[in-house]
A and B are shown apart, each in its own frame.
Chain A
Amino acid sequence: MHAEAPIKLADFHANARAALNDPKLRDSFSGAMDFLIERRARQFPDPAAFEQLRRVGEAVRQHALARLPELLVQLEERLTALGVQVHWAETAADANAIFLDLARRHDAQLMVKGKSMVSEEIELNHAMAAQGIDCVETDMGEYILQLDGDRPSHIIMPAIHKTKRDVAEIFHEHIDGAPLTDDVNELIAIGRRALRDKFASARIGVSGVNFMVAETGSLVLVENEGNGRLCTSVPDVHIAITGIEKVIEKLEHVAPLFALLTRSATGQAITTYLNVLTGPRRPGEKDGPREMHLILLDNGRTQAYREQRFRATLQCIRCGACMNHCPVYTRIGGLSYGTTYPGPIGAIISPHLQSLHETRDLPTASSLCGACGEVCPVGIPIPDLLMRLREAGRHSVAQSATPPQQALRGQGEVRQWAEALAWKAWRLLYSHPVLYRLLVWFAARLNWLTPPWQGGWTLARAPLRPAPQSFRDRLAQRRQQRR
């Protein structure tokens, strides 16, 4: 089996260009996104009802974030009382070290893993493979990608960029005895058969978490394939990993978030499985893990938490609706972003997980059309956050009109002197009516001097050429004629 390729933040522009020039990729993405948009729309036929539910979801998440430190303490107490061991990981490396330590302690050569974007974030498979431990993806999409040495391009439908034909070839090449077939049911059966053996022999099962309930110590896991339930109940040891922001206060808060999540993500009123895991196997119980661990990962989240202007980023419940509706994501696909989380949510969370400089092209890769914010089930003002990140990248704390409590990672490092100077010049001209009037006057009369090449603009468009008579000129003329 291939080791998963480590995440590389390659050149976003080059990635996007390559994706735009790949008609197969564009077709498969636009078709899939149209399908998901339609499915979601059917689940929310009444905009007012959606708005009402969204307000509830937003309130639940904001309430939890407002009390994040105390809820995490409460959660840890509840979990400890239930016999779950809680581990805190500040970085991806810390989290991987905890996994490795647990694997060694249990002499595990094989782990089975349910779908978890946080495990992608820490590159768990890669880190374990480097230590000779096989960490097998059991979500069908993720399994396909792992066999192929590829990465997820969507947080909910990771293999959305693969065609049926691609999957057939991957299975045929990597699974012993798999015939080359285009039949989807047969392909699924081949994948499932290959995975069954893994479930039976793995010592450790790994999962992500959708919601952590502070009052009960429950870990809630939403899934469709049943592999999540197998990973969390068959192996002796269950290790869950998630970000610190996933905690909510009460069990009753799960209901609105679950309703919003499944409808927004896949257009389902309900998923096939909803797992509520509250502690390991108790004496007398016939199944469930004998040992249970929860790894709580920070990896930059406290930066978004600390700064009130960015805290809403952490409201996210990872439904993926923002990417499904994003005209940019639809055209360039998820891999172009070069980050764990692609699309609009990726553009607003990745700068905190990595740095503003490393992710400098993501906040600007949006026309701010607002489709993401419109469908976000927990009301994250994504376009506003994109603008704030653009600002933070271009202004040091000292230069900033709305300075953060502490510099963000990469604060001000995206600033280019030419761009900053251009806006200063713009400000000068446009805040002095006389100068502005001169600018417009000259632009109209010297419009024949318009450069035929205007950077990116003229790549696919004719040059911007001022009209020979400005609106002002025309207005003056019109007044004269009327006199």
Chain B
Amino acid sequence: MSAAAGTAMHRSAPNVYFFATCVIDMFAPDAGIDAIDVLERSGVTVHVPLRQTCCGQPAYTTGFPEEAAKVAAAQLDLFPEPWPIVVPSGSCCGMLKHHWPKLFANDPLRLAKAEGIAARTIEFTDYLLNVADLNLAHARRSPLRVALHTACSARREMGTLECGRALLQRLPGVELVVQAHEFECCGFGGTFSVKHPEISAAMTSDKLDAIRATGCDAMVSADCGCLLSLNLMLEKRREPQRGRHIASLIRERLDASAGEGAGR
């Protein structure tokens, strides 16, 4: 063991807040639980403030910023300690990080709180890659071809594509495959998918076709809105594949290796 790793063991375990997002709470609980599991394996203590609800993005982007501000305002005091706030869904993370301060431009007290939160907010794959000390070298080694989809706003605001790619490349046996038009939106776009369902569906359908054309074994993302839209279209098409949160893949690969180890 290196000296650096030794001192890391003696340091008190880092703490993080976990902002689960309403989509994970109601529609994709596996993603949230798996993300917490993976964070804990990296030696982090995860705190989940139970009074959290939604980042407010749906109202904000639909033209009701006042409603979004009220929902955000109710959550400004949930993160009192100076710990990072990890968000397992890219666009929600961007909402806290880049748009919460905009909601309180005319409210200095709340603005200060929102800015404090924004400065500590970090997207899950970013945290895992650049802050946490998670060893993936011993994960399961069986070959797996994986396609990665990143939410557009998160990719453009926070460079999550590079984080996601780097994480997948650290997983032994995993081969990253890249779909055509990788940078193109999957068509979810929140209320866009309801207000303009035909256009949205055409985009989602093209995204699924591009991913399928890679011949991948698995599709992952760190964005539960996109995943919901992609998966429910797959369900409607009666196709068996489903995309998963990248945390679920990482957890599965780590679990399988633990299983292999125990069997030996």
Residues on A facing B (Cβ under 8 Å): 13, 16-17, 20, 327-328, 331-332, 361, 363-371, 373-374, 387, 389-395, 401-402, 419-420, 423-424, 426-427, 429-433, 436-437, 440, 443-444, 455-467, 469-475, 478
Contacts and interface: CB of A to CB of B under 8 A. Distances in A.
B63 A17 contact: no
20 contacts: A13-B196, A327-B185, A365-B192, A367-B189, A370-B156, A387-B65, A391-B63, A391-B64, A394-B63, A423-B64, A430-B22, A431-B73, A444-B26, A456-B200, A458-B236, A459-B197, A470-B26, A471-B20, A471-B29, A475-B32
Given A366-B189, A426-B59, A467-B29, A433 B53 contact: yes
Secondary structure call for the B interface: helix
B63 A471 contact: no
Nearest to A388: B63
A298 B202 CA distance: 37
Interface in B171-210: 183-185, 187-205
Contacts of B54: 430
Contacts of B228: 464
A367 B236 contact: no
Contacts of B188: 367
B67 interface: yes
Shortest 9 CB-CB contacts between residues of A and residues of B:
A367-B189, A390-B63, A456-B197, A460-B201, A369-B185, A369-B152, A462-B235, A461-B232, A471-B29
Given A368-B189, A471-B20, A431 B197 contact: no
A188 B229 CA distance: 46
Given A368-B61, A423-B64, A16 B70 contact: no
A438 B188 CA distance: 27
Given A431-B71, A478-B33, A470 B58 contact: no
B198 A17 contact: yes
Contacts of B59: 423, 426-427
Given A368-B192, A471-B24, 10 more contacts: A13-B196, A364-B62, A367-B187, A367-B189, A368-B190, A374-B156, A391-B63, A420-B64, A464-B27, A467-B27
B150 to A, nearest CB: 11
Contacts of A437: 50
Given A430-B22, A467-B28, A401 B65 contact: yes
Interface in B7-57: 20, 22, 24-29, 32-33, 36, 48, 50-54, 56
A430 B23 CA distance: 13
Given A366-B189, A456-B193, A460-B204, A469 B67 contact: no
B165 to A, nearest CB: 17
A253 to B, nearest CB: 28
B27 A331 contact: no
